[in-house]
Chains A and B, each alone.
Chain A
Amino acid sequence: MPEALVFYAFAALAIGASLLVIGQRNPMYSVLLLIASFGALSGLYIQLDAPFVAVAQIIIYAGAIMVLFLFVVMLLNASREDGATWDRSHPIPSTRLGKVGALLAALLVVQLGWALSQLGGRSVPVGSRVDGERLGSVLELGRVLFTRHTFAFEATSILILVAMVGAVVLARREGEA
């Protein structure tokens, strides 16, 4: 069954890449690996009969956002993590904080697993009920997006605008006009 193989390959790629993203200290590598994992994810999307989402994933995430990250990494050129002075007034020392966080994350995994185990119908094959043709069609997607979700769409556009202005204001040096 080839598609199962494809799925496992992509899933493994995504997870592995993500692990490596947080696994080493060089932000440059992290960015690239994250791109890889996004690619894998878009593969999964294609398998889920969402080609448009897949392409958008590549274009927006890998093509735009990640370039932005890359740009910043190169701009700041701070390739290594630097140890900062941790002021002592904190209730939790920084190292322990990291450990605590990791522990919490582990708990999260447990809980999510638990939630999944309680979820009904998780073993039914995806898309066994409905055909992927309609879901795959960009036309349909656009129709839904611009009719039922118009408001959300407009709201997001405003959000983007605000974010843009904010970014400009933030990144400007003090004193610059």
Chain B
Amino acid sequence: MLALIPLFPLAGFVVNATLGRRLSKGVSGGLASLAMLASFGVSAVAVWQLAGMAPEARTVEQVLYTWIASGDLQIEAAFRLDQLSAVMILVVTGIGSLIHIYSTAYMHEETDGEFARYFSYLNLFAAFMLVLVLGASFPLMFVGWEGVGLCSYLLIGFWFRKRSASDAGKKAFIVNRVGDYAFILGMLSVFAQFGTLDFEAVAAAVAALPPEAGFGAISLAALLLFIGATGKSAQIPLYTWLPDAMEGPTPVSALIHAATMVTAGVYMIGRNAVLFSHAPDTMSIVAVIGAATALMAGTIGLVQNDIKRVLAYSTVSQLGYMFLAMGVGAFGAGIFHLYTHAFFKALLFLGSGAVIHALHGEQDLRNMGGLKKELPITYWTFLIGAVAIAGVPGLSGFFSKDEILFETFVEGHRVLWFVGMLTALLTATYMFRLVYLTFHGERRHDGPGGGHLHDAPPAMALVLIVLAVGSVAAGWIGIPHAVGGHNRLHTWLEPAFEAPGEREPEAGALATAGAQAGVEAEGAGAEAGEASHEALEVALMGVSSAVALSGIAFAWFVWIRRRQVADNMVRELPALHRLLLNKYYVDELYDAAIVQPIKVASEEGLWRWFDVRVIDGAVNGTGAVVDAGASLLRRLQTGSVRSYASSLLVGVLLILGYYLWR
């Protein structure tokens, strides 16, 4: 049953990859989308069955075969579906199918062969992502982890004839290598300590131990895993590849670089919640990194001029939110945000895709504007997405983001909370800067065909609308008690973050999670003052919604009301502006600090010295030795049959003699 879920996209990949160029666009695209829909259906059924079970026993496991069996390392190729992965597969397959459908329209200019190639990649990605999510052990997850990395590389460089695209692909791949290396180290250290790599087993083993005081082995393992996560999920210091990844087709950016793949890191931490919550130091590192990333990306996003890059940075900063949540032990909140973010960020990307589609590849904000009338559907859906991400009350983004901030506050990280708030402000601002620059104001471009632009074709429009509805409603399964709702997602996810042993039904809300996280002693106290708790929550909600609205208002003021304000700011703070525009010069820094030294070292050391001297020397040396040996041995190969025969006979005599002597 579970195996079917990744199997469908895989089948689609095989078909499209092998005889794709013989198929028409309709067939190959339809096949791919059908594969996704099928796997979505299967996952829906699977989740339904899961929901049917008792809350504490909600895990379905399917062991395919024993993959690795060496010594005490025993790894099954097993899929496991629990509450967490249930959410994930629904997101992946659901959003995935939508984006497939969208792509059939978006990629329509490509030739049949390219079209099929694109969809084969997309399907392959989906398959790997599902393996990543469903894998019941680190190695299997790692397979998916690497697989999605590969697919992201292939898809970023999809238009590989464009230099920048292939470069971006390579960049993404190489930067990810760093993270993956750390991930492998993390796996190894986990295995070294607990002697197993199965998630549940590890969790059980960890749960037996007390939370680590100080930075110990567990913290190290967690930290390494987290570094892996920063690579995949574009956190400081490894986030630089994501903005460049926008070279790929927009649906890819939506699926891989907003909705699914980049959230793998978050998911991984959630999957190892027990492990992380036993490593308080690492947790705080995660939280700080998350907050810092959120803020930094937000600031950069404020000034970028490429529509997709803005979205990319917003993605980075939203991911920062998720990590912040994970860091403060609010795993549920993090996953919640992941889930809502998938909706509205996909929506935003696809909307921008629609814009780019309409403008035939134009991506620069400065050449847009005034599209409101020409692209109504795109506009309205995009607006919904913007509102959702900005955190306007009632929409999905609000609930998730607000919950994160609340948790942060409750756990006592006042500073982080403040940073979060600041980022929320920034988010609202740059999102609406984007909206205004794109759709409002007067037109700063000359569209083809006498200026009339065609709005998104039906397939794309449909997807946009569905996603828009999603981004409005998705949050409603997580309405907190405070406003009279009931946070179903939490109660649903709760057991997934605990060791299998101690899943008692009445495990109340994240209080227990907090207690286990052991971040703060008063986590226990939190249960006591439930009432004050709710009051606080309401208050914070008020604050954050105020912040969001003010951010929107600010953006309106600056980019609609008084355009010159923006220019003035640029003029008055040129240094800051340049700094932001050049993304804090991080790329240049890396280039100077890492890339160049490696280049030099490999050129001078490895090539000129090691390769030429040592390797070539070794090769030539071997040749020389063989040559010398041959010139000796050739005396044996006389070519005279009888001399051969005599040597043979000598051998016979020796062997026989040996057996006689014994």
User: Contact residues of A with B, CB < 8 Å?
Assistant: 90-92, 94, 97-98, 100-101, 104-105, 107-108, 111, 114-115, 118
Asked if B73 is an interface residue, CB under 8 A from chain A, the answer is no
Question: In the bound complex, do residue A91 and residue B638 qualify as a contact, i.e. CB atoms below 8 Å apart?
Answer: yes
Question: In the bound complex, do residue A90 and residue B649 qualify as a contact, i.e. CB atoms below 8 Å apart?
Answer: no
- A107-B653, A108-B653 known; A90 vs B660 contact (CB < 8 Å): no
Question: In the bound complex, do residue B643 and residue A108 qualify as a contact, i.e. CB atoms below 8 Å apart?
Answer: no
- A91-B635, A91-B638, A105-B649 known; A97 vs B643 contact (CB < 8 Å): yes
Complex Cα–Cα for A114 and B649 (A): 17
CB distance from A22 to the nearest CB of B (A): 13
Question: In the bound complex, do residue B640 and residue A111 qualify as a contact, i.e. CB atoms below 8 Å apart?
Answer: no
Across the interface, which residues of B come within 8 angstroms of A100, CB to CB? Answer: 646
B640 to A, closest residue via Cβ: A90
Across the interface, which residues of B come within 8 angstroms of A114, CB to CB? Answer: 660
Complex Cα–Cα for A133 and B650 (A): 42
B647 to A, closest residue via Cβ: A104
- A114-B660, A118-B660 known; A90 vs B643 contact (CB < 8 Å): yes
Question: In the bound complex, do residue B656 and residue A111 qualify as a contact, i.e. CB atoms below 8 Å apart?
Answer: yes
Interface string of B342-363 (1 = CB under 8 A from A): 0000000000000000000000
Across the interface, which residues of A come within 8 angstroms of B642, CB to CB? Answer: 94, 97-98, 101
Known contacts A98-B642, A101-B646; 15 additional CB pairs below 8 A are A90-B638, A91-B635, A91-B638, A91-B643, A97-B640, A97-B643, A97-B646, A101-B642, A101-B649, A104-B650, A104-B653, A107-B653, A115-B656, A115-B660, A118-B660
B635 to A, closest residue via Cβ: A91
A-B contact count (CB 8 A): 37
Asked if B628 is an interface residue, CB under 8 A from chain A, the answer is no
Complex Cα–Cα for A97 and B640 (A): 10
10 A-B contacts, Cβ less than 8 Å apart? A90-B643, A97-B640, A100-B646, A101-B646, A104-B649, A105-B649, A111-B656, A114-B660, A115-B656, A118-B660
Asked if B575 is an interface residue, CB under 8 A from chain A, the answer is no
Tell me the B611-662 residues at the A interface (CB within 8 Å).
635, 638, 640, 642-643, 645-646, 649-650, 652-653, 656-657, 660
Question: In the bound complex, do residue B660 and residue A92 qualify as a contact, i.e. CB atoms below 8 Å apart?
Answer: no
Complex Cα–Cα for A104 and B648 (A): 11
Across the interface, which residues of B come within 8 angstroms of A118, CB to CB? Answer: 660
Choose one: A90, A104, A111; the contact of B646 (CB below 8 Å).
Answer: A104
- A111-B660, A114-B660, A115-B660 known; A92 vs B643 contact (CB < 8 Å): yes
Across the interface, which residues of A come within 8 angstroms of B656, CB to CB? Answer: 111, 115
Across the interface, which residues of B come within 8 angstroms of A105, CB to CB? Answer: 649
CB distance from A88 to the nearest CB of B (A): 11
A104 to B, closest residue via Cβ: B649
Across the interface, which residues of B come within 8 angstroms of A115, CB to CB? Answer: 656, 660
Complex Cα–Cα for A92 and B635 (A): 10
Question: In the bound complex, do residue B645 and residue A101 qualify as a contact, i.e. CB atoms below 8 Å apart?
Answer: yes
CB distance from A93 to the nearest CB of B (A): 10
Across the interface, which residues of B come within 8 angstroms of A108, CB to CB? Answer: 649, 652-653
B646 to A, closest residue via Cβ: A101
CB distance from B630 to the nearest CB of A (A): 15
Across the interface, which residues of B come within 8 angstroms of A92, CB to CB? Answer: 638, 643
Complex Cα–Cα for A97 and B638 (A): 12
B652 to A, closest residue via Cβ: A108
A111 to B, closest residue via Cβ: B656
Complex Cα–Cα for A11 and B281 (A): 95
Question: In the bound complex, do residue B653 and residue A94 qualify as a contact, i.e. CB atoms below 8 Å apart?
Answer: no
CB distance from B618 to the nearest CB of A (A): 33
Across the interface, which residues of A come within 8 angstroms of B638, CB to CB? Answer: 90-92
5 closest A-B pairs (Cβ-Cβ)? A104-B649, A90-B638, A101-B646, A111-B656, A97-B642
Complex Cα–Cα for A105 and B660 (A): 17
CB distance from B384 to the nearest CB of A (A): 76
CB distance from A112 to the nearest CB of B (A): 8
Across the interface, which residues of B come within 8 angstroms of A91, CB to CB? Answer: 635, 638, 643
CB distance from B634 to the nearest CB of A (A): 10
CB distance from A85 to the nearest CB of B (A): 13
Complex Cα–Cα for A170 and B414 (A): 93
Across the interface, which residues of A come within 8 angstroms of B649, CB to CB? Answer: 101, 104-105, 108
Across the interface, which residues of A come within 8 angstroms of B650, CB to CB? Answer: 104
Across the interface, which residues of A come within 8 angstroms of B645, CB to CB? Answer: 101
Choose one: A90, A97, A111; the contact of B653 (CB below 8 Å).
Answer: A111
Complex Cα–Cα for A104 and B201 (A): 71
Across the interface, which residues of B come within 8 angstroms of A98, CB to CB? Answer: 642
Question: In the bound complex, do residue A111 and residue B643 qualify as a contact, i.e. CB atoms below 8 Å apart?
Answer: no
CB distance from A98 to the nearest CB of B (A): 7
Complex Cα–Cα for A78 and B652 (A): 33
CB distance from B9 to the nearest CB of A (A): 47
Across the interface, which residues of A come within 8 angstroms of B660, CB to CB? Answer: 111, 114-115, 118
Complex Cα–Cα for A105 and B656 (A): 13
Complex Cα–Cα for A156 and B638 (A): 32
CB distance from A110 to the nearest CB of B (A): 9
Across the interface, which residues of A come within 8 angstroms of B635, CB to CB? Answer: 91
Complex Cα–Cα for A104 and B642 (A): 12
CB distance from A79 to the nearest CB of B (A): 21
CB distance from A101 to the nearest CB of B (A): 5
Interface string of B178-221 (1 = CB under 8 A from A): 00000000000000000000000000000000000000000000
B634 to A, closest residue via Cβ: A89
Complex Cα–Cα for A94 and B660 (A): 32
CB distance from A104 to the nearest CB of B (A): 5
Interface string of B49-76 (1 = CB under 8 A from A): 0000000000000000000000000000
Tell me the B267-289 residues at the A interface (CB within 8 Å).
none
Complex Cα–Cα for A151 and B141 (A): 48
Complex Cα–Cα for A91 and B639 (A): 11
CB distance from A66 to the nearest CB of B (A): 22
Complex Cα–Cα for A108 and B656 (A): 9
Across the interface, which residues of B come within 8 angstroms of A101, CB to CB? Answer: 642, 645-646, 649
Complex Cα–Cα for A2 and B176 (A): 94
Question: In the bound complex, do residue B646 and residue A94 qualify as a contact, i.e. CB atoms below 8 Å apart?
Answer: no
Across the interface, which residues of B come within 8 angstroms of A107, CB to CB? Answer: 653
Across the interface, which residues of A come within 8 angstroms of B657, CB to CB? Answer: 111
Complex Cα–Cα for A111 and B660 (A): 8
Complex Cα–Cα for A100 and B638 (A): 16
Complex Cα–Cα for A90 and B652 (A): 23
Complex Cα–Cα for A105 and B649 (A): 8
Question: In the bound complex, do residue A94 and residue B652 qualify as a contact, i.e. CB atoms below 8 Å apart?
Answer: no
CB distance from B660 to the nearest CB of A (A): 6
Complex Cα–Cα for A40 and B643 (A): 32
